[in-house]
Structure 1
């Protein structure tokens, strides 16, 4: 290649949506991997369905809206919205075939071999049939509401992500006239129903209803019924510049969102062509958005099925014990611990309890003056929310930024915003036009007449539930410069403040892009001087075109770039003179890799950072994000060892190849390494070590020997003592 290189050439980029589907295919591979425990494989298949649902609700819905107005601008890979929409649906259809082949040919036969049964009506014993008959009449029948569809009664509204029956029937005295109705499968009942007579025998709720649905239509005969569901456009469209009350606007948009356009129809492939044609017409959906399944619609039920199985621990991941340093638990003053030195945590291998404890102790600490915190996604019963409320009631100044635009958590976050206000907290909703995605908490204390700031900064949400299965990292620090920066960030979020600079923290929008661009420029300059330069990054997604072009320039200059990217990667590897110094790994395993790590090794000088941000345009341009350094040398070394362990993983890693596919590591001659299993085992070992040291530290109790006549007789209860 000669002359000036065009790093923005569309041939150098992979389409974002197709890259996401490739990620979901890697998840699907885990459901096919026999090295994984069987029930975990069921869960992986269920996860692929849940992933697809959210993908269609937001990303495909967005493409459909752009295609509908013939939006002409292509993406970085040169594809128009219409081309992307067609390509995505084509690939999603291929994935559907692979999903149901995995279910029918591999997973269902495998669970039967373990005496776990997902039964159809024809497989039931007489006792089980009588059970479901009674269940239908006693429980289901009073709740079911069939909806006729004829000239006097219009086709009913089908809610997003609900299971329904498409029913065809005839009147007893007029068998040639086809009639139609729909019936929503009620979601107030468990979809996976346990059957009597066998320990692990189940049937799906819709199969029970289908078996007896004719009893809802007296004097009519049901000739056909098929389960279906629709996925609608669920993207939230909040015009923040036009509203004075963001909370009310979000609530209004949540109501409107429920009636978004249908983006995808899934239906059992047993439906007749005539009934299907009628249904697609009523739903106004094109043929390419119809997905006919060769098994149960909506495979997310597999998660519930796997959880319902009893007495098979060997078919699940082995349990491990997460570690928590004693200095960070409820028996110790956490502020003393943080003041003594910084602390680095890697969840879920380190307990999230320490983060909750940080807020709990601040809420009751007499020296705490103020707590400031950002909340993007919290659990449905968040202890952090409770402690923030307690702090306000204890007279602390509590300021909480609740991001009410966090996708699919809007309703939950609106609820918590109201609750926090009721408890006396000052609640803010961020900046107009931006989502606040940074993970930051600040506790301000008065100590011996001086003000001291304590901070927690993380890569993941303050969510005590997802912290058990998302891998994230965070630090506790009392660093004064960072504390000043954190105060300025909260002033920026809550008021009219534009700090001219930050001491150590880097903030998006703009700040993180500028910082990484500057680092890449430094790397390029050093590499051109022949100095050794390596950049290592870990993130969820890489899609920003400008950032990828800059990585290409660095690679061309000779910078070695190692990337661990779980999901979307629009960068291509192996392009001669462009990306031949870039290697991309992806880890899909037991836990969802969510941490973001940025390491720059320039001629032997290394700096290490954690961040809330991926290298996506939305994170760099349209969100408030945080990137922060690990200053303490031992913690920096620990973070680098964590990265290196993940980089050397050869069981769960896939390597991106020049043909845009991901392939497993060639393990010939290598010792097997599953990084997540390694971290879990190390955490359990640390817990066991601490328990051993604690037991060894206990003083030995010496008891004087009694004379024979004073020795207790363990078999003589005549003294009135209780033997129990």
Structure 2
């Protein structure tokens, strides 16, 4: 174990102390991309990682790059904590992103597609089709594609159309005259989102093999049919990515109404990236760049489809995927008469996706139908109107329960869905509130009030992840089901705070952003510093999705200098630099990228033997700690605390299959198996242990 440094701390400049946030999240996307070449993943899972990378990059450009571009266009030259200006950040992003996207298509064309062919899964090019297949494709184009296409000529009467964010489009070069005698050189053909991007050929034309044709190839082959009497001399795919962040005035009178008005702007925001196929001629892509007011650094020429995120099809090859995993139900729930009796026996910890999300739904379902239940309150951040949870809440309201839903309308990219959720619940008779203006409600809480022997008893669920059953099968999260009186009282007070008005709720056990959480975390780190200075063991382990908040980073640096041993398990963004002499040499940072998306937030402080362990909805970011309503809950039960410490923290620190470590210079290295070392895959260990 390292001890406290005795020399004076080395002076580090800003860029030596911190890693840029935008570049750090881009590094995470690169770690996802690397999964596509990892032979430990089944082949179709490798393809899936390639497509996840595409979706990640879409959002990165829509939100992060768009934000930096906006700063630059407003003339903002202020430096971020790492010392970089917006211009420098954009230049570095451009270099890294261009190289990464080129690598993505190289992996697709040189590794994934050839290996899929070996499995008789083929994406056929136009020149590979047999005459019978070509005839089928032609008929498919005439009957299924052409009727929904709208060719748009580009001439003085038809200016360049407004094209929807991330939509697939074709720009066509033409020769000849149209029906009105006009000489038209260019046209645009948008591909409706209703059309599948991958079309499977009938089995009788492929000997039962899974052969597919891209929609882009089908349109390209028959595009001249859209311009009778003219000749299409060129057909080139392109796709524009736009600024998709919503700007809402916090003084609006009706948040839902204002949000509806803003959603359409996301589809037509400022362009931030143009993708074209590699064969697109310079005059054509230059023309498109001018139309979208972009420069050549924002152009991405790709060797393949420009909309990879929609490439995945329902391939019937189970051996090319992970073995199926069935989440388990905790024994205490199986043995109990109902969920209320189980929760009264003991606190119940759920670790998703290894354990089922069904108990959370069952808590609501039993509450909706139990005549003794008077009220149900819940926060909803991401949950569609068709989700079982929303339907059960609506049922409870129709059954006469007092149902209160605190819905965060502004959960990014789920705004429209959340408005629909609000409408469903309001129509059923539930009370729907939208939280606090200016603060997103990100806390995960359910409160059930039940009358038992003429007394009111509270039942609570607290979680680290959203109430979304599908995500609970692919995201790792913790949930605590409890009847602890002080925790239940705290949750009750937070709901009062969210739905009413008044002073900050005084809580007994919960930590609460934006009020007490940040200060208490600083205090916990200070305690570890004092223990280290007193010669006592001092340790901090934090597992979160992101670490960006500068005050916490500086406090961790201070703790490292005092000799506190610090392990950070950070999924994506980390602005702290570990391992720097006399600053962070006692800090280690690792990231796990595996089958499931790591999403748990756990904070552990050894506290001289009287350990503190908290789970939370909050990452260590400015937005979570100061601009959101978050809840951080202690795990007091000794057995559950040990369970989280061993399986949720130490297990991940031992991972040598899916782990990456962060260096002080900001680069990430894949952890390699040492000679004689046993493989340790943290997620697989959990799958096996819960079986």
Same fold (TM over 0.5): yes
Distance 1:149 1:518 in 2: 64
> 2:646: which partner in 1?
641
Q: CA deviation at 1:666?
A: 3.0
Give 5+ residue unaligned stretches, structure 1: 686-724
The question of whether the paired residues in 1 share the 8 Å contact of 2:7 and 2:582 is answered with no
Q: CA deviation at 1:607?
A: 1.4
Corresponding position of 2:3: none
* CA distance in 2 between partners of 1:562 and 1:417 (Å): 41
In the other structure, the counterpart of 2:473 is 468
User: In 2, distance between residues paired with 1:113 and 1:11?
Assistant: 48
CA shift in 2, pair 1:8/1:309, >3 Å: same
The equivalent position to 2:420 in structure 1, one of 383, 398, 415, is 415
Aligned to 2:600: 595
Structure 1 residue corresponding to 2:680, chosen from 666, 673, 676: 673
In structure 1, the partner of 2:237 is 227
- Contact 1:320–1:681 under 8 Å retained in 2: no
Are the counterparts in 1 of residues 385 and 418 from structure 2 also a CA contact under 8 Å?
no
> Which of 220, 230, 235 in structure 2 is aligned with 1:210?
220
1:278 matches 2:283 = no
Distance apart, 1:287 and its partner CA: 1.2
Within 5 A, what are the aligned runs for 1:414-493? 414-493=419-498
Counterpart-to-counterpart distance in 1, 2:319 and 2:53: 23
Other-structure match for 1:292: 301
| Equivalences for residues 22-421 of structure 1 within 5 A | 22-171=27-176, 179-196=185-202, 197-198=205-206, 199-241=209-251, 243-302=252-311, 304-305=312-313, 308-310=314-316, 312-328=317-333, 332-421=337-426
Shift of 1:647: 1.3
Contact 2:547 2:575 in 1 (8 A): yes
For residue 530 of structure 1, report the CA deviation from its aligned partner: 1.2
Bigger radius of gyration: 1
Q: Residues 434 and 622 of structure 1 are in contact (CA less than 8 Å); yes or no, is this contact kept in structure 2?
A: yes
How far residue 3 of structure 1 moved from its aligned partner, in angstroms, is 5.1
Deviation at 1:523, TM superposition (A): 0.8
Query: Quick one: structure 1 residues 173 and 425, their matched pair in 2 at CA, closer, same or farther if it must change by over 3 Å?
Result: closer
SS of corresponding position for 1:578: coil
Q: Deviations over 1:360-409 (max 9, x none)?
A: 11101111111110000013521111111111111111110000000000
How far did residue 327 of structure 1 move?
Answer: 4.2
Alignment of 1:447-596 (within 5 A): 447-499=452-504, 501-596=506-601
Aligned length: 679
Q: For 2:178 and 2:397, how far apart are their aligned partners in 1? A: 71
Q: 1:567 aligns to what SS in structure 2?
A: strand
Distance 2:26 2:307 in 1: 17
Q: Is the partner of 1:610 in helix, strand or coil?
A: strand
1:652 is the counterpart of 2:662 = no
CA distance in 1, matches of 2:386, 2:110: 40
Distance change in 2, residues 1:500/1:680 (3 Å): closer
For 1:497 and 1:106, the matched residues in 2 are separated by 60
In structure 2, C-alpha distance between the alignment counterparts of 1:395 and 1:381, rounded to whole Å: 21
Q: CA deviation at 1:8?
A: 7.4
1:707 equivalent in structure 2: none
Q: Distance in 1 between matches of 2:182 and 2:424?
A: 59
List gaps (5 residues or longer) in structure 2. Answer: 1-5
* Contact 2:385–2:391 (CA under 8 A) maintained in structure 1: no
Confirm or deny: 8 A CA contact 2:50 2:104 kept in the other structure: yes
State how far apart, in whole Å, the 1-side matches of 2:578 and 2:328 are: 38
For the aligned residues, what is the CA RMSD?
A: 1.8
SS at match of 2:640: helix
Counterpart CA distance in 2 for 1:41 and 1:112 is: 15
